[in-house]
Structure 1
Amino acid sequence: MRHHRIFAALYDKMIGLCERAGFRDARADLLGQAHGRVLEIGAGTGLNLSHYTADVDDLVLLEPDRFMAARLRDRIAADPSLPASVTVINEPAEHLPFDDESFDCVVSTLVLCTVDDPEQTVAEVARVLRPGGRLLCLEHVRSSSSERLARWQDRLDLPWGWFAGGCHPNRDTARILRASRLDVESLDHGEMPKEIGPLIRPMISGAVTKA
């Protein structure tokens, strides 16, 4: 696991225009469905925090990058209105330090593009979800509608990762979710706001459920 001091320092500013152009609303729509004991993987600097509702009883935030985690803790300390008890844990998503079937909901927003092993991460999510629990996801993905864009995502995968903290623009996350032990409840294909740039504009959002 690499730690990205500069990327963490610039992240909120880099994504700020996209947030104001509509991605913040997409976060709110998704996270309004979270309830009970919730695990957020790759919580970053805490941009999801303000969107959790009183239906969340206990919130566990997983963030392996120590520089991101420091900013996450600062944001928590500055926000007395959080709806739940909040815990920050510095661990990778591929090896979740939790018991089987211990969460009602897992949240992943712009995370599965950066984990080292997305298949293992989704398998771990399935393990810790209770029966009937849901993974709520909002992820940019490999283009399924433009082969030309998909080829550019392949070509620029390595340099983009250097720039964007290990992000892979060509991850076929929808395929990974459908191939997992989780059942796809709803998975909508759309686009991130145009302010984000075409390379990572293709997006999926929705829920997958543990039977």
Structure 2
Amino acid sequence: MPETRVNHPIFARFYARLSQAMEHRGLAERRQKLLAGLSGQVIEVGAGNGLNFAHYPPAVTRVLAVEPEPRLRRLARTAAGAAPVPVEVVDGLADRLPAEDATFDGAVASLVLCSLPNPDSALREMYRVLGPRGRLCFLEHVRAESAGMVRVQRLLDATVWPLLAGGCHTGRDSVAAIERAGFTVDRLERFMFPRVRTPASFFVLGTASRAPAVAG
């Protein structure tokens, strides 16, 4: 399969270093919480350098990890070799996932929705490849809750930030995008990471189900 045309060499090197620092500052524990309870076959969209792999629970029988950036994909393949569950790392784009309909029990989006050209299309793809009882686990930095910081995020996103950060946007409302794709958000936790207030410090962690909520 030919490689996709996603190429951010400078950002990939920077992110590989930054992400390790973030792990030691507490993000590793968030990843573990993100993946807890998953089982069966899982697709991870935008696997980056594979830092989630070490945290998959033993009930997961297979992970298909999709990563289009070649340098990050090479790092992810190294990480897959030490994972506690079988992980296959492949090239691919989030809005054209290399998977059949309804083939996965879980999908993982971790620090990826901020950088996708079309997050709505990618989330519809995740919805497509999940089975009827499948669930989406997400960990993302998102739009701030204060109007002043939102203005700062919009300014950054309209100017230099995406160019410097591999297409990343600081102020996307990823929870609303998840719901637009047809998911029902079951659990949502908002937190700041790191605790220093910056435009990229506003995070959400949660799960969403493919099946509609049942009135009770």
Normalised to the residue count of structure 2, the TM-score between the two structures is: 0.90
Deviation at 1:155, TM superposition (A): 0.3
Aligned to 1:114: 115
Deviation at 1:188, TM superposition (A): 2.1
1:52 to 2:53 alignment? no
Unaligned runs of 5+ in 2: 212-216
Deviation at 1:175, TM superposition (A): 1.1
Deviation at 1:5, TM superposition (A): 1.4
Aligned to 2:194: 193
Unaligned runs of 5+ in 1: none
Aligned to 1:94: 95
Aligned to 2:147: 147
Aligned to 1:7: 11
1:23 to 2:27 alignment? yes
Deviation at 1:10, TM superposition (A): 2.3
> 8 Å contact 2:43–2:64 — kept in the other structure?
yes
Deviation at 1:30, TM superposition (A): 1.1
Deviation at 1:121, TM superposition (A): 0.6
Distance in 2, Cα, partners of 1:68 & 1:13: 11
Deviation at 1:179, TM superposition (A): 2.0
> 8 Å contact 2:8–2:166 — kept in the other structure?
yes
Distance in 2, Cα, partners of 1:209 & 1:171: 21
Deviation at 1:18, TM superposition (A): 2.5
Aligned length: 206
Output aligned runs, 1:164-203, within 5 Å.
Answer: 164-194=165-195, 198-203=198-203
Aligned to 2:85: 84
Between Structure 1 and Structure 2, which shows a larger proportion of helix residues? 1
What whole-Å deviation, never above 9, does each CA across 1:100-159 have from its counterpart, x for those lacking one? 10000001110000111000011111111011110000000011x211111100101131
AA partner of residue 169 (structure 2): H
* Secondary structure of residue in 2 paired with 1:198: coil
Deviation at 1:3, TM superposition (A): 0.6
Matching residue within 35, 40, 46 for 1:42: 46
Cα RMSD, aligned residues only:
1.4
Percent identity (aligned): 34
Deviation at 1:181, TM superposition (A): 1.0
Aligned to 2:214: none
Deviation at 1:198, TM superposition (A): 0.8
Q: Which runs of 4+ in 1 moved over 3 A?
A: none
Deviation at 1:76, TM superposition (A): 2.4
> 8 Å contact 1:62–1:88 — kept in the other structure?
yes
* Secondary structure of residue in 2 paired with 1:200: coil
> 8 Å contact 1:108–1:135 — kept in the other structure?
yes
Deviation at 1:97, TM superposition (A): 1.7
Aligned to 2:205: 205
AA partner of residue 129 (structure 2): V
